Amino acid sequence: MGLDQPPVVRVSVPREGRAEKLPLRQWPMTVPAVEHVVRRGLDLAPGVTFLVGENGSGKSTIVEAVAEAYGLSPEGGTRNSRHSTRVTESPLGAALTLQRGIGSGRWGFFLRAETMHGWYTHQEQHGGPPLHEMSHGESFLEVLRTRFDSPGFYCLDEPEAALSFSSTLALVSALAEVVAKGGQVLCATHSPVLAAMPGATVLEVGPWGLRRTTWEDLELVEHWRRYLADPGRYLRHVLD
């Protein structure tokens, strides 16, 4: 995507009431990436945006908050498929505002890997397919087949957790179809396979906050390259 293209989604926190909703010395404002979004906002370019970073860097907190601000269930699903087992979301979602382009559809879906078991149960209780009878990966692929079929706004939190290499490639294909139909995606991931998707915007998340980068320059990619070339170079440090 060109840098001169207008954002489809502008994520921001209004100054009015910001200090009360998100105190500076309290989580999640202690996470640099969250502070970055609160202070500077975040423009999501058309197509797919990947957030890539270490555990605890804030990428899932941001995706969850954006999904909540869009009106999606924090535990996964659509606007109309709301369920809750335990409220754990940060106050960021309630503080965010989302500005979307003219003519943008209202359909959306939040695929959150860690809560999909509960969402499956909710769906079955309301006449949905028997997702619990499928393997972990098969159920994810069924969700991709049946839910990623509209030009809406999709939030994904580490969707590769249940997927094999070939199934992750199937996810790339599903995301490409969403984009071709005019949809938009925000995805937190640890997968170098996903992050390599052509045309995607890659934001690296870390102590610096958020920074735009390329797949080739991701620390994640460099580590995987080195590990696959010489696993012992890494393993001797953890096994000793």
Instruction: Classify residue 2: in a domain, yes or no.
Output: no
Whether the pLDDT of residue 4 is over 50: the answer is no
Instruction: Classify residue 137: in a domain, yes or no.
Output: yes
Q: What is the pLDDT of residues 73-122, one digit of tens each?
A: 887 887 776 666 666 789 999 999 998 765 566 788 898 866 555 555 65
Q: What is the pLDDT of residues 57-70, one digit of tens each?
A: 999 999 999 999 99
CATH number of the domain bearing residue 34: 3.40.50
Q: What is the pLDDT of residues 16-38, one digit of tens each?
A: 999 999 999 999 999 999 999 99
**DSSP label at 113?**
G
**With the C-alpha atoms ordered 154, 158, 160, 161, is the resulting torsion angle positive or negative?**
negative
Q: What is the pLDDT of residues 205-217, one digit of tens each?
A: 999 999 999 999 9
Q: Total domain count for the chain? A: 1
Q: How many CB atoms lie within 10 A of CB 40?
A: 12
Q: What's the token pair of residue 170?
A: 């199937």
Instruction: Classify residue 4: in a domain, yes or no.
Output: no
- Of residues 239 and 75, the one with the higher pLDDT is 239
Distance CA 194, CA 159 (A): 9
As a whole number, mean pLDDT of residues 187-196 equals 97
Whether the pLDDT of residue 165 is over 60: the answer is yes
Instruction: Classify residue 3: in a domain, yes or no.
Output: no
Domain residue limits at 97? 9-239
- DSSP string of 38-77, one letter each residue: HHH-EEE-SSEEEEEE-TTSSHHHHHHHHHHHHT--TTSB
Whether the pLDDT of residue 3 is over 50: the answer is no
pLDDT number for residue 240: 77
Q: Is 149 exposed, middle or buried (0-12, 13-18, 19+ CB in 10 A)?
A: middle
Closest CA to 66 of 140, 152, 151, 153: 153
Is the distance from CB of 59 to CB of 208 less than 8 angstroms? no
